[in-house]
A and B are shown apart, each in its own frame.
Chain A
Amino acid sequence: MFKTEAEMIQLSMSNLKKTFFDNDETVQIIQEVQGLFGIPDVVLKADIIIAVEYKLSNWKKALIQAFRYKNFAHASFVILDKDYYHRATKNIDSFIRSKVGLGYVDETGDIIINYNPGISKPFSSRSLERINHIFETQFA
């Protein structure tokens, strides 16, 4: 459906707050966050931190990346193109086992979450400090 990952992100970007924070206006968003374990496409921060990894089709690679973000995030999601999403759902057990969320972007840019792992404490307090510092610097 989408030609590029960037196109998918652009179309769905405005729906991220609605999907993960019920349109909370205090949510801060940073794209392509550097200086962490991997480079998450999007990180959202309000009272908790959510990391999002977009991929057109390669769910395995996305799962590896999204799992890394659990070092600093309270929840981490893989968001795929709707057309390729069914491949990942066949392997939903891998997402459940790793407590990594899974969803897709439809043709209108809406984000539909199929599996929500809930929130959990980030693995690394040092990484959490680092991401908080990145947000503080960016939104100072």
Chain B
Amino acid sequence: MERVKVMHQCGHNTKWNIISFIEDKIGDGLIISPADLEVNKVNDLPDSVKSVSYFDPQYYLPTSEKKKLNSYPFFPKTYLEGRQYSTQLSYKCRFELAKECVQYQKNNNYKYIVIPTIYEENFIDNTYDELEQLIITPFIDAISRLQCNKPVLLTAMINKNQLIIDDMNIQLLNFLTSYPEIDGIYLIPIIQRDVSQKRISDINLLFSLMKTINALKMADLEVHLGYTDVEGYLLTIAGPNSISIGAYENSRRFDIKKFGQKGRTQQPNARLYSNVLLQWIDTDYIDSLFSMFKKANELFENNEYLNLMLRTSYNWHFTKKEPYMHYFTSFSHQVYSLHNTLQERYNDIYKTLINAKQYFSEISESGVVLDAPSSGGHIDKWITALNRYATFKGVRINVQN
């Protein structure tokens, strides 16, 4: 197994990711989001940053009217000037569009050339054919004609059904592994869940996602997981090449609404990441934790951002950068500390989960009552998913939970 890289999934306030990457030296590169950064600002990024980063063309909603997306001349809505992006689109047009997008990525010297995808609510049989005709074939052709020698990533979104229904999973894997020109998959799990449900706690789903990552790796493809949150830590057991870190929740959980028209959403509470609990804790609990739980200072990585935030004058708010900068640092340290053999990595993750379980129990005994989004309801399920995958891979499992 290789060391897992940590990529900044850029989003709103991309400057936080850039500061974290350049000044704090956190992460291995950026996944650049054109929906959040206009073309001229992306072009101005230093070459040293671009060469270790990749650009997600974000064709998820090709007719999106988002201003920043439309600042890119190769974004379908801009390129086609109002014409419908569909199978009706002329063959020539698709190839020109792909060529412009590949040329842009090549000129900017990104680490990879990324082939985009389109968001589909329900995948049906001919969705794959459509994707191949509309996007994949034109992009592969453009890469060849432009003589790109960069490795190529294919964007793939994977929903719950494609994970847990065997036939659909096989169909997806067949599709993703059928292009010899492609070096890896930029894999985006689309796991719908209630907004108050912060962690993915479905054992089957987690296990299936691990198996899918493993299957792609076994096919000699790189796997770069996008839009991951704390789950990324658990998923490292399957050996992805990279996982992602993001600031606002919509860069840690894919939400198609981000790419459509801007709507009013409820403001979330500020949260602070606990590397011990593997959970984001609502900051309204910070004072009670420090008052009632004697080991509260062990819950959060003590980096420069924590010191700033624990000052009494600090005003918690989800739009402030410090909680996210703290998370970038804390979470990446946690991922980098993992060992690189399957058995050792299993032991690392298992130990972290058992430790989290113990801390949650002690917090409860101290009288602090955490609500569901801050609680440890996911821990036992994560232990089970981890053990299930370890068994599947023939790894010796621990049973002391």
Q: Which residue of A is nearest B289, CB measured?
A: A123
Residues of chain A with a CB closer than 8 A to B287's CB: 71, 123-124, 127
Complexed CA–CA distance, A70 and B285 (Å):
10
Complexed CA–CA distance, A63 and B282 (Å):
17
Q: Kindly state whether residue A98 has any CB partner on chain B within 8 Å.
A: yes
Q: Kindly state whether residue A45 has any CB partner on chain B within 8 Å.
A: no
In chain B, residues 265-307, which have Cβ atoms closer than 8 Å to a Cβ of chain A?
269, 282, 284, 287-288, 291
Residues of chain A with a CB closer than 8 A to B282's CB: 37
In chain A, residues 87-122, which have Cβ atoms closer than 8 Å to a Cβ of chain B?
94, 97-100
Asked if B369 and A64 make an inter-chain contact with CB atoms under 8 angstroms apart, the answer reads yes
Given contacts A63-B369, A97-B367, A98-B368, contact A68 B284 (CB under 8 A): yes
Interface of chain B: mostly helix, strand, loop or mixed: loop
Instruction: Tell me how many residues of A have a C-beta within 8 Å of chain B.
Output: 17
Residues of chain B with a CB closer than 8 A to A123's CB: 287-288, 291
Complexed CA–CA distance, A53 and B48 (Å):
56
In chain A, residues 65-98, which have Cβ atoms closer than 8 Å to a Cβ of chain B?
67-68, 70-71, 94, 97-98
Q: Kindly state whether residue B371 has any CB partner on chain A within 8 Å.
A: yes
Complexed CA–CA distance, A98 and B285 (Å):
13
Contact of B369 among A71, A98, A126, A127 (CB under 8 A): A98
Closest CB of chain B to A91's CB: distance in Å? 12
Residues of chain B with a CB closer than 8 A to A94's CB: 369
Complexed CA–CA distance, A99 and B288 (Å):
12
Closest CB of chain A to B81's CB: distance in Å? 47
Q: Which residue of B is nearest A97, CB measured?
A: B367
Q: Kindly state whether residue A125 has any CB partner on chain B within 8 Å.
A: yes
Contact of A125 among B312, B315, B367, B371 (CB under 8 A): B312
Q: Kindly state whether residue B255 has any CB partner on chain A within 8 Å.
A: no
Q: Kindly state whether residue B365 has any CB partner on chain A within 8 Å.
A: yes
Complexed CA–CA distance, A60 and B368 (Å):
13
Contact of A67 among B269, B312, B365, B368 (CB under 8 A): B368
Closest CB of chain B to A108's CB: distance in Å? 31
In chain B, residues 303-336, which have Cβ atoms closer than 8 Å to a Cβ of chain A?
312, 315
Which of B366, B367, B370 has the most A CB atoms < 10 Å from its CB? B367
Asked if B367 and A99 make an inter-chain contact with CB atoms under 8 angstroms apart, the answer reads yes
Residues of chain A with a CB closer than 8 A to B291's CB: 123
Residues of chain B with a CB closer than 8 A to A124's CB: 284, 287-288
Which of A68, A125, A127 has the most B CB atoms < 10 Å from its CB? A68
Closest CB of chain B to A106's CB: distance in Å? 26
Complexed CA–CA distance, A68 and B365 (Å):
16
Residues of chain B with a CB closer than 8 A to A97's CB: 365-367
Asked if A71 and B367 make an inter-chain contact with CB atoms under 8 angstroms apart, the answer reads no
Asked if B367 and A68 make an inter-chain contact with CB atoms under 8 angstroms apart, the answer reads no
Q: Which residue of B is nearest A120, CB measured?
A: B291
In chain B, residues 343-401, which have Cβ atoms closer than 8 Å to a Cβ of chain A?
365-371
Q: Which residue of A is nearest B315, CB measured?
A: A126
Asked if B371 and A98 make an inter-chain contact with CB atoms under 8 angstroms apart, the answer reads no
Residues of chain A with a CB closer than 8 A to B366's CB: 97
Q: Which residues of A contact B (CB under 8 A)?
A: 37, 63-64, 67-68, 70-71, 94, 97-100, 123-127
Q: Which residues of B contact A (CB under 8 A)?
A: 269, 282, 284, 287-288, 291, 312, 315, 365-371
Question: 4 shortest A-B CB distances, which residue pairs?
Answer: A37-B284, A123-B287, A67-B369, A97-B367
Given contacts A64-B369, A71-B287, A97-B366, 20 further A-B contacts (CB under 8 A): A37-B269, A64-B370, A64-B371, A67-B369, A68-B371, A70-B288, A71-B284, A71-B288, A94-B369, A97-B365, A97-B367, A98-B368, A100-B369, A123-B287, A123-B288, A124-B284, A124-B287, A124-B288, A126-B315, A127-B287
